[in-house]
Amino acid sequence: MTDRPIDAVIARAIDAHAALAEFGEEVEDEWTYVTDLAAAWRERLESVAAERSGEEAAADVEAAVDAAIAEAALVHDPHRAIDWMSTFPQVVLIAMGERP
């Protein structure tokens, strides 16, 4: 893996998180919670991307984020997707050395 801009790595994580949210929205009783959670984490991840724009992501950071994205893609239950909506961005942020 080559080093990429951290904001590009975060953009992939944001896309994966959005996919979890879309899946979680299938649970009608949780729709408001899912959309609020999606917005809050998107804002946090976008904030880190803006703060660290231009910085290169180390290969191990990119690999860790890719692994988290791959795990999130294995979620096939809307309720589990909602659980992952909280966990996934925290894993991504920790991999980048950020506070969740």
pTM for the predicted model, two decimal places: 0.93
pLDDT in tens, 65-99: 999 999 999 999 999 999 999 999 999 999 999 99
pLDDT in tens, 34-49: 999 999 999 999 999 9
Whether 10 shows a pLDDT value over 70: the answer reads yes
Decide: 4 and 52 in contact? Cβ < 8 Å.
no
Whether 1 shows a pLDDT value over 70: the answer reads no
pLDDT of residue 43: 98
Nearest to 65, CA basis, from 94, 33, 24, 31: 94
Alpha helix (H) ranges present in the chain?
6-24, 31-51, 59-73, 78-95
